[in-house]
């Protein structure tokens, strides 16, 4: 086995060293998870529900600790990190209601009785990204456990600390230690073994489209189920009939949240040409007003990028001759800081077509509704987006025409655990969250009982 150093991105200091598991350790974890899943599935639905509620209560008792870990490991502002820890608790609480409501059907047929059951798949492998480590993990493990499965979670190498702690809290809450296991390791080792191991019946992957295609191709060899939440290049469409002041004031938070390290970031702002100049006048003070700094400070709105390699990747999109309209501010000195940056490139510029995953946004004018829709859809991605208009008919037309899985009208909301989340095109496959999420971790079994006629 090897090890990796976990770095605080705001200070560049080493937080701790984390051991990375090898393939043999993964195989051992899978074997133990297979046995634990059978024990878990045999429990009464009410007992499984109680176990998830206990897990949620234990998370709730450690909100501050989890938030502090995320601040240190990921550079998330403390207020955001506290919300994220509370979100994990809420997702667990929501899916704790599922075991007692996972109902099949009785289907009318001739000659007997026909019923369906939702059987758990078995062992689920969840591979999470570094941008929202504990929240995205919960989207996978909570509904999977609720459906009667065991879960193996591989956190991103850069940001494993909150996931490791969640695994410990599950045991403290009374769950079987082998039921929910966190396995830190390299993607090419642990993640790859999730894909190839025959007893891992489904892989849930959140990350880049490039890696997601490899996961999907590998899973095909065993006809293994996958849920993929991949990249994005979402559009924030601003029509001339909207509340322009509000659209401009909120636009920075639609893209610079989590330093732009968000698959749902509205990293293309499309503005109707008739109000383009006025919008840019309003956008500049809003961008410069974003508070970038120490993530432990309560008033901080944006922290650093996650790592030096990622900082270099983002910086490559803003060379010295980039069409920078204006920038916000960021600290100097240690830390992977990058100021919020607004570009005004051409429609084919790589800053418009590629996912930057940082606090860089491109603003482009459009002529009319048809042009706005065409420009919004001129991408291989289709995850999220916003539409700003006071015309209800236009809002409905455009929301139906834009090829994206999660749209928001006159706001930038994308993810609620009570509603489904996922992408079109190369932004992914399948849906997470919402009331039906546990069903995606089950197989439907149909059973016919012949009835003898009197």
In order of 235, 370, 374, 402, the CA distances from 396 in angstroms are: 16, 14, 16, 10
Measured distance CA(194)–CA(202) in Å, rounded: 8
Measured distance CA(71)–CA(295) in Å, rounded: 6
Query: CA-CA-CA-CA torsion for 292, 266, 82, 94, nearest 10 degrees?
Result: 180
Please tell me the predicted confidence (pLDDT) of residue 454: 79
Measured distance CA(151)–CA(243) in Å, rounded: 46
Please tell me the predicted confidence (pLDDT) of residue 339: 98
**If you count them, how many residues does the chain have?**
454
Please tell me the predicted confidence (pLDDT) of residue 400: 98
Measured distance CA(356)–CA(232) in Å, rounded: 9
Our answer to whether residue 281 is catalytic in this structure is no
CA triple 191-192-196, angle to 5 deg: 125
Measured distance CA(209)–CA(231) in Å, rounded: 5
In order of 72, 85, 88, 145, the CA distances from 61 in angstroms are: 19, 10, 12, 21
> Going by DSSP bridges, is the β-strand pair 384-388/235-238 parallel, antiparallel, or unpaired?
parallel
Contact 365, 347 (CB under 8 A): no
Give the pTM.
Answer: 0.96
For the chain, how big is the Rg over CA atoms in Å?
Answer: 23
Q: What are phi and psi of 38, to 5 degrees?
A: -65, -40
Exactly one of 70, 192, 263, 355 is catalytic; name it: 263
Please tell me the predicted confidence (pLDDT) of residue 45: 98
In order of 261, 265, 278, 442, the CA distances from 274 in angstroms are: 31, 25, 9, 51
Please tell me the predicted confidence (pLDDT) of residue 401: 98
Please tell me the predicted confidence (pLDDT) of residue 273: 98
Q: 278 is written with which tokens? A: 């006025």
Our answer to whether residue 264 is catalytic in this structure is no
Q: What are phi and psi of 32, to 5 degrees?
A: -70, -35
Exactly one of 82, 84, 229, 301 is catalytic; name it: 229
Q: 383 is written with which tokens? A: 């995850």
Residues 6+ apart with CB under 8 A from 85: 59, 62, 63, 64, 66, 67, 70, 134, 162
Measured distance CA(32)–CA(407) in Å, rounded: 41
Per-residue three-class SS string for the chain: CEEEEEECCCCCCEEEEEEECCHHHHHHHHHHHHHHHHHHHHCCHHHHHHHHHHHHHHHHCCHHHHHHHHHHHHCCCHHHHHHHHHHHHHHHHHHCCCCCCCCCCEEEECCEEEEEEEEECCEEEEECCCCCHHHHHHHHHHHHHHCCCEEEEECCCCCCHHHHHHHHHHHHCCCCCCCEEECCCCHHHHHHHHHHCCCEEEEEEECCHHHHHHHHHHHHCCCCEEEEECCCCCEEEECCCCCHHHHHHHHHHHHCHHHHCCCCCCCEEEEEHHHHHHHHHHHHHHHHCCCECCCCCCCCCECCCCCHHHHHHHHCCCCCCCCEEEECCCCCCCCCCCCCEEECCCCCCHHHHCCCCCCEEEEEEECCHHHHHHHHCCCCCCCEEEEECCCHHHHHHHHHHCCCCEEEECCCCCCCCCCCECCCHHHEECCECCCCHHHHHEEEEEEEEECCCC
Residues in the chain where the model's pLDDT stays below 70: 1
Please tell me the predicted confidence (pLDDT) of residue 414: 72
In order of 202, 264, 282, 344, the CA distances from 213 in angstroms are: 15, 19, 40, 31
Measured distance CA(352)–CA(348) in Å, rounded: 6
Please tell me the predicted confidence (pLDDT) of residue 185: 97
Please tell me the predicted confidence (pLDDT) of residue 274: 98
């Amino acid at each position: 086995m090897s090890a990796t150093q976990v770095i605080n991105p705001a200070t560049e200091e080493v937080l701790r060293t984390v051991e990375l598991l090898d393939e043999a350790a993964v195989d051992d974890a899978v074997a133990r998870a297979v046995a634990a899943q059978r024990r878990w599935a045999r429990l009464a639905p009410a007992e499984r529900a109680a176990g998830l509620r206990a897990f949620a209560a234990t998370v709730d008792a450690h909100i501050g600790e989890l938030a502090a870990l995320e601040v240190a490991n990921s550079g998330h502002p403390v207020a955001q990190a506290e919300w994220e820890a509370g979100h994990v608790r809420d997702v667990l609480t929501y899916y704790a209601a599922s075991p007692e409501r996972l109902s099949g059907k009785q289907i009318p047929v001739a000659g007997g009785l026909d019923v369906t059951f939702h059987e758990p798949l078995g062992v689920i492998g969840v591979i999470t990204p570094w941008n929202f480590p504990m929240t995205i993990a919960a989207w996978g493990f909570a509904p999977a456990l609720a459906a009667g499965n065991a879960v193996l979670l591989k956190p991103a190498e850069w940001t494993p600390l909150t996931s490791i702690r969640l695994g410990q809290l599950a045991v403290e809450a009374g769950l079987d230690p082998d039921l929910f296991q966190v396995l830190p390791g390299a993607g090419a080792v642990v993640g790859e073994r999730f894909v190839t191991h025959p007893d891992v019946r489904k892989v849930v992957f959140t990350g880049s489209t490039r890696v997601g295609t490899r996961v999907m191709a590998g899973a095909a060899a065993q006809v293994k189920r996958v849920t993929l939440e991949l990249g994005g290049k979402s559009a924030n469409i601003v029509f001339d009939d909207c509340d322009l002041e509000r659209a401009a004031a909120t636009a920075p938070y639609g893209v610079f949240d989590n330093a732009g390290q968000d698959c749902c970031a509205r990293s293309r702002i499309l503005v109707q040409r008739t109000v383009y100049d006025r919008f840019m006048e309003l956008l500049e003070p809003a961008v410069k007003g974003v508070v970038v700094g120490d993530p432990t400070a309560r008033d901080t709105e944006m922290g650093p990028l996650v790592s030096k390699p990622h900082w270099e990747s983002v910086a490559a999109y803003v060379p010295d001759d980039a069409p920078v309209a204006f920038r916000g501010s960021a600290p100097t000195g240690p830390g992977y800081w990058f100021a919020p940056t607004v570009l005004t490139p051409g429609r084919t510029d790589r800053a418009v077509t590629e996912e930057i995953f940082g606090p860089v946004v491109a603003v482009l004018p459009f002529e009319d509704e048809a042009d706005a829709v065409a420009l919004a859809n001129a991408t291989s991605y289709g995850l999220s987006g916003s539409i700003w208009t006071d015309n209800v008919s236009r809002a409905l037309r455009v929301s139906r025409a834009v090829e994206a899985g999660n749209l928001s009208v006159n706001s930038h909301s994308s993810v609620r655990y009570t509603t489904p989340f996922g992408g079109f095109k190369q932004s992914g496959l399948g849906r997470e969250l919402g009331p039906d999420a546990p069903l995606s971790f089950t197989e439907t079994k149909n059973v016919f009982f012949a009835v003898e006629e009197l």
